[in-house]
Every structure is written in structure tokens, then in C-alpha cells.
Amino acid sequence: MIPSSYPTKDEIARLAAGMLLEIGAITFNAETPFTHASGKQAPTYVDCRKLISFPRIRSTLMDFLTVTIMREAGFEAFDNIAGGETAGIPFAALVAERMALPMTYVRKKPKGYGKNARIEGVMTEGQRVLLVEDLTTDGGSKLSFVDAIRETGATCSATAVIFYYGIFEGVEKSLSDHGVQLLHLCTWWDVLEEAKKRKAYDSATLDEVEAYLRDPAGWSAARAK
């Protein structure tokens, strides 16, 4: 069923942040920071893959994501829902089901045998494709997926994610310059606010997380010395 009436954007952000905290998809640790793929350290970690194991929260967030897509991009804006390999695939399937649209997925790179395809499923020239992923950090992987979609002759003018870091400069501009609108449910700022309300972590940890969110590069550099 296609959802049509749901909470405001701010309320969705608050509820989504709370759900991520509730299932342990969010971890804060200032004493032993996490090392990200970039090699930089951070006191924050998010794992949206955990959502697939929690049916009630999964269903609610997919309703939220679907209504966000329709509110911000349009009710008839897309012909095909594409998931990014691998984390985006289950969420793309769930959104496609709600929007009654075909679903495809995009490989990170050609599979190296057979037809050497990056697109799995049926995607045709002229289709308006929405890219669905679990999260966005700096937007780099999104551009690669978008380019693969466009190589089929389809268009891709938007990507929808559950979680957007929202702390790195230029991400939305970079996507916009590439002709891609970013749709999301919540950011680190929403999670921090909800964590404070719930007293999910001690004040010292929350202060360190806030310091990191305000200056990610500086926080990481200080701990690399």
C-alpha cells in the first residue's frame, strides 16, 4: 500500500533517529574511536543494515522514506527503483513494493563475467530511476551508481537514503551539480539531539560527539597525533 499521510519532516527525523538508537544501529565511543574507510577516526558509527532484522521499525521507516520521496520529489516522478549494492538492495525492494514500481539494483563494478553487467533486473532507456541506499557520507558512491544508471539511457535525478551524515561540506552541492537531489530521513544532528533527550550516553561522550560533528577533520586530526 502506498502511504500518503504521515508526520512532518521534523517529526520523521526525530522518530527515525530514535529508532536507530533503539535497535543499536548507532554507537558512540569517544575513548576508542572508530576508523572509517577514509582512514580518519570518529566517535560515531551507524549500521543501517541492522534495520532489516526489525520488522516493525523496518516497515515504519520504509513508509517514512516512501512518503518523503513522494512529498519532496513527486508522486509520479519515477518509473524504476534501483538499489545500490549491497546495503541499498533490501530497502530499494521495500520502497519499490510500496510505490508499485519495478525494482533493479546497481553493482559497484561490473561482475567480470557473462554480460559483465552493472545493472541487474530490467532498466530501459528513458526510464526515470530513483537510487535508494542505506546512507550517504560524502556522496561519492552515489555518483558512481548514478553514472551506471545513466549509461543505460535511463535518467537518475534523485537518491533517497535513510541516514545522511550531514556534517561534511559540499555534499549536497556535489550531488546537485551532478543533477541529483538528495532525500533523507535523519542526520547525525537528529541522532545527537535524540540521544541527549534519552540520555542514551553519558554527557562526556555526547560532548565529544558534538565536538566531532562540529569539526570532523579537526577532531580526527587531533587524535592522529
DSSP one-letter string for 8-67:
-HHHHHHHHHHHHHHTT-EEE-SSSPEEPTTS-EESEEE-GGGGGG-HHHHHHHHHHHHH
> Is residue 160 one of the residues assigned to a domain?
yes
Check pLDDT > 70 for residue 1.
Answer: no
> Is residue 153 one of the residues assigned to a domain?
yes
> Is residue 81 one of the residues assigned to a domain?
yes
State the pTM of this model: 0.94
What's the domain range around 57?
9-220
> Is residue 4 one of the residues assigned to a domain?
no
Q: Output the pLDDT for position 113.
A: 73
Q: How many structural domains comprise the chain?
A: 1
Dig out the grid coordinates for 47 from the structure: 549500521
**Mean pLDDT of the region 182-211:** 97
> Is residue 225 one of the residues assigned to a domain?
no
Q: Output the pLDDT for position 2.
A: 65
Q: Output the pLDDT for position 39.
A: 80
**Mean pLDDT of the region 201-215:** 97
* C-alpha closest to that of 58 among 26, 90, 83, 31: 90
**Mean pLDDT of the region 19-31:** 97
What's 93's domain CATH number?
A: 3.40.50.2020
> Is residue 1 one of the residues assigned to a domain?
no
**Mean pLDDT of the region 42-50:** 97
